[in-house]
Structure 1
Amino acid sequence: MTPMRWRPSLKRAMGRGIKVLSFDSGVRKDGRMMHLSAANDALIGEKLVQLTQQAIGDSGEIAIVSSTAQATNQNIWIEEIRKVLARPAYKGLKLVSVVYGDEQIDKSYRETQGLFKSYPNLKAIIAPVSMAVPAAAKAVQDEKKIGSVYVTGLGLPSEMAGHVKSGAVKSFAIWNPIDLGYSSIQAASQLIAGKFTGKPGDKVSLGRVGSVVLDANSEAAMAEPFTYDASNVEKFAKIF
Structure 2
Amino acid sequence: MLRSRRQLLAAAAASALVLGSAACGGTTKNNSSDTGSAGGQAAATADPNAQLKTGLKIAYLPKQLNNPYSDVETSGGEVAVKELQGEYKKVGPNDASASSQVSYINTLIQQQENVIVVAANDPNAVCPSLNQARQAKIHVVTFDSDASKACRDIFINQATTEGIGQSLAKMANEQAGGSGQIAILSATPNATNQNAWIDVMKTELKKPEYSKLQLVKIAYGNDDDQKSFQEAQGLLQSYPKLKVIVSPTTVGIAAAARYVSSSSYKGKVQITGLGLPNQMREYVKDGTVKKFALWNPADIGYLAAYAGAALASGQITGAQGEKFKAGKLGEYTIGADGEVVLGPPLEFTPANIDQFHF
TM-score (norm 1): 0.72
Q: CA RMSD in A?
A: 3.7
Identity of matched residues, %: 35
Contact (CA 8 Å) 2:332, 2:340: kept in 1 or not? Answer: no
**Structure 1 runs not aligned, ≥5 long:** 12-21, 188-193
C-alpha offsets along residues 172-204 of structure 1, whole Å, 9 cap, x if unaligned? 12223477689899x9xxxxxx9x997536799
Alpha-carbon distance in 2 for matches of 1:59, 1:136: 21
Residue 235 (structure 1) shift: 2.2
Alpha-carbon distance in 1 for matches of 2:331, 2:167: 18
Letter in 1 for 2:238: S
- Residues 200, 146 of structure 1: CA spacing in aligned structure 2 closer, same or farther, 3 A cutoff? same
Contact (CA 8 Å) 1:138, 1:163: kept in 2 or not? Answer: yes
Residue 213 (structure 1) shift: 7.5
1:43 aligns with 2:199: no
Give matches, 1:16-95, under 5 Å: 24=143, 36-95=156-215
Alpha-carbon distance in 2 for matches of 1:172, 1:205: 30
Alignment-derived partner of residue 335 in structure 2: 214
1:163 aligns with 2:286: no
Alignment: residue pair count: 224
Alpha-carbon distance in 2 for matches of 1:165, 1:158: 12
Contact (CA 8 Å) 1:212, 1:222: kept in 2 or not? Answer: no
**Structure 2 runs not aligned, ≥5 long:** 1-116, 119-126, 308-314
Alignment-derived partner of residue 255 in structure 2: 135
Alpha-carbon distance in 2 for matches of 1:10, 1:219: 18
- Residues 180, 75 of structure 1: CA spacing in aligned structure 2 closer, same or farther, 3 A cutoff? closer
Letter in 2 for 1:115: L
- Residues 101, 183 of structure 1: CA spacing in aligned structure 2 closer, same or farther, 3 A cutoff? closer
Letter in 1 for 2:257: A
Alignment-derived partner of residue 226 in structure 1: 346
C-alpha offsets along residues 74-112 of structure 1, whole Å, 9 cap, x if unaligned? 223222221111112211111011112233222222221
1:120 aligns with 2:276: no
Contact (CA 8 Å) 2:323, 2:334: kept in 1 or not? Answer: yes
User: Equivalent residue of 2:190, what SS?
Assistant: coil
Contact (CA 8 Å) 1:29, 1:218: kept in 2 or not? Answer: no
- Residues 210, 108 of structure 1: CA spacing in aligned structure 2 closer, same or farther, 3 A cutoff? same
Alpha-carbon distance in 2 for matches of 1:74, 1:37: 12
TM-score (norm 2): 0.51
Alpha-carbon distance in 1 for matches of 2:237, 2:226: 17
Letter in 2 for 1:145: Y
User: Equivalent residue of 1:131, what SS?
Assistant: helix
Alpha-carbon distance in 1 for matches of 2:208, 2:322: 34
